[in-house]
Amino acid sequence: MELESEQPYKFKLRETSPEAESSDAVKIACPSCHAHIKADDINIDSKLAKCSSCDSIFSIHSQVSKLLLREDPKHEVIRPEGIDLFEFRDALEISVKQPWTALEIIPAILLPFVAVIFTIAFFKKGFNYVFAVASWVSTAIMIFLLAQRKKHWIYINIDDKYLSTFWRPKKLHQDKHFPINQVNQLYVRGVNGACSLIVVLDTPEGQKHIKLIGDMSSLSKAKYLEQEIERYLNIKDRKLPEEA
């Protein structure tokens, strides 16, 4: 006899022989008299069961916990543009184009307007020319820096000891190193249209959620990084409450 719930997770609780058991099925036994519990005597929603032999009522949460943790398989994410992978011996290196930051976007928008305003003020009102010159020099420097962005990368390196990230150039980002034996899971978290790749660490002080890469505008890039890092570290993906 079989009972399947209408919830996203499908439970299959049935009378089976040891040869027919699998990770997709469990047998429920009464903890009092050890009689086998039929599916009709199991309430999936409350996770309670009643033994028809001794009339005991007991929780089945621990018996079905593995089924509760089952997840539907995720779709494979194809490598997006702007990410390169290189595997050599016992190390993996992933190169990611650096996302745009507010320190780049805001000056790139404002500096040309400021330069034009100071120039008009100089010609019409005799405003000090130093401000106009300085604003145009700053604009030229910003244009030059933006032209060099194709050389700005984030490097994710995984060897036999650490999961590391390097920003080159750094742009106020410190290099990070996480022991791979502490890496429990990775997930993507979205906030206001941007997404971040988060690493979950099991540390002596407790579990920590640390941003690996933030402010990514492409969800597919973040998901691809999560997929490839977990694959390389042989981490089975789990959906977490904080995940996008």
User: What's the whole-number mean pLDDT along residues 43-51?
Assistant: 83
Indicate the average pLDDT of the chain. Answer: 81
Decide yes or no: CATH 3.10.290.10 for domain 18-68: no
Q: Mean of the pLDDT values across residues 69-74?
A: 54
> Between residues 101 and 187, which one has the greater pLDDT?
187
Region of residue 36 (left: phi > 0; alpha: psi -120 to 50; beta: else): beta
Mean pLDDT over residues 205-221, rounded? 89
Query: What is residue 22's predicted lDDT score, i.e. its pLDDT?
Result: 45
**Residue written as tokens 């009339």?**
55
More confident residue, 231 or 22: 231
Note the CATH architecture for domain 83-97+154-232. Answer: Roll (2.30)
Give the pLDDT of residue 6: 41
Comparing 3-7, 191-195, 231-235, the range with the smallest average pLDDT is 3-7
CA distance 223 to 161: 23
pLDDT of residue 91: 92
| From 33-37, 124-128, 131-135, 153-157, the region with the lowest mean pLDDT | 124-128
Q: Could you give the CA distance from residue 74 to residue 198 in angstroms, rounded to a whole number?
A: 18
Asked whether residue 94 carries a pLDDT value surpassing 90, the answer given is yes
Instruction: Please say if the pLDDT value at position 10 is more than 50.
Output: no
